[in-house]
Amino acid sequence: MNLEELNKKIEKEYNEYLSGLGSSKKVNHLKEIQEFDNSMNKFWKEEYPKMGFDEKKKYWLASTHKGMRTQGEVLGDEYSEFSKGWYDFAKEHEPDFDEIFDYVTKNLGFEFDWEEYNKRIEN
């Protein structure tokens, strides 16, 4: 199962889950989702810009390591977290992303496959 198929499956199961909730549980669930989204937006708009360059490098290193590890365990494809949308998001929030990501790849603790990464972020 590729990432697109998995996303469709997850979306279908999530919609089935939502339709099975009572109205008050559904409202509470959607409120929690909105609170999470608000928290993420606050992080990217208020907290992340205040970080120093070294803090940003540590953030991206930890985030990338965790993401690749999780994707590897779940899908057997460590590079499935990378996409054009992911890269565009990163560049939108971090103008020096390419410099930071170079640091990240040198400190992941394993050899990073730049060819595979570039293939993912170009599509």
Domain ranges of the chain: 1-46, 51-122
105-to-75, 97, 98 alpha-carbon distances in Å: 21, 12, 10
Q: How far is the CA of 59 from the CAs of 4, 10, 53, in angstroms?
A: 27, 28, 10
DSSP codes joined into one string, the chain:
--HHHHHHHHHHHHHHHHHHS-HHHHHHHHHHHHHHHHHHHHIIIIIGGGS-HHHHHHHHHHHHHHHHHHHHHHHS-GGGG--HHHHHHHHHH-TTHHHHHHHHHHSSSS---HHHHHHHHH-
| 120: pLDDT strictly greater than 80 | yes
pLDDT digit string (tens) for 50-86? 999 999 999 999 999 999 999 888 888 899 989 999 9
The structure's pTM equals: 0.78
Measured between alpha carbons, how far is 63 from 46 in angstroms, rounded to an integer? 18
pLDDT digits (tens, 9 = 90+) for 5-39: 877 888 999 989 988 988 898 889 989 999 998 99
